[in-house]
Amino acid sequence: DAGVTQSPTHLIKTRGQQVTLRCSPISGHKSVSWYQQVLGQGPQFIFQYYEKEERGRGNFPDRFSARQFPNYSSELNVNALLLGDSALYLCASSLGSSGNTIYFGEGSWLTVV
């Protein structure tokens, strides 16, 4: 079975641009979460979606938004990119909304120049 898949794997954007990252969860999983990992630190929670509804939001500005589609895949959008948005963006999926094993994808490396 396929794991959590993310695209693109690497991308370079210019300050002020917008980026969309995509994620497909493990088959049967209804929850998708997004995390940001800056070099040298642990991942930071951005959003969780369950059954197409936002269930949780971390301490990130409104420039960050996400959605989940009927097939449970998800997109993370970041507007007005800043240099500080350069990071590894990780998508995770789980069966339920809480208390389940969480599995991560390989991530999308975003560089803002």
Partner 1 sequence: GIQVEQSPPDLILQEGANSTLRCNFSDSVNNLQWFHQNPWGQLINLFYIPSGTKQNGRLSATTVATERYSLLYISSSQTTDSGVYFCAVAAGSGGYNKLIFGAGTRLAVHP
91, 9 contact by CB (below 8 A):
no
**Choices 13-21, 22-30, 41-49, 68-76 (CB under 8 A): range interacting with partner 1:** 41-49
We find the least distance from the C-beta atom of residue 3 to partner 1, in angstroms, to be 10
Residue 83 CB, nearest distance to partner 1 (Å)? Answer: 20
Amino acid identity of residue 2, one-letter, is A
Measured from the CB of residue 106, what is the shortest distance to partner 1 in angstroms? 5
User: Which of 24, 43, 74, 110 touches partner 1 (CB under 8 A)?
Assistant: 43
- Count of beta carbons in the 10 Å neighbourhood of residue 52: 14
Nearer to partner 1, 107 or 112 (CB): 107
Distance CA(60)–CA(81), nearest Å, equals 13
Asked whether the beta carbons of 40 and 19 are under 8 A apart, the reply is no
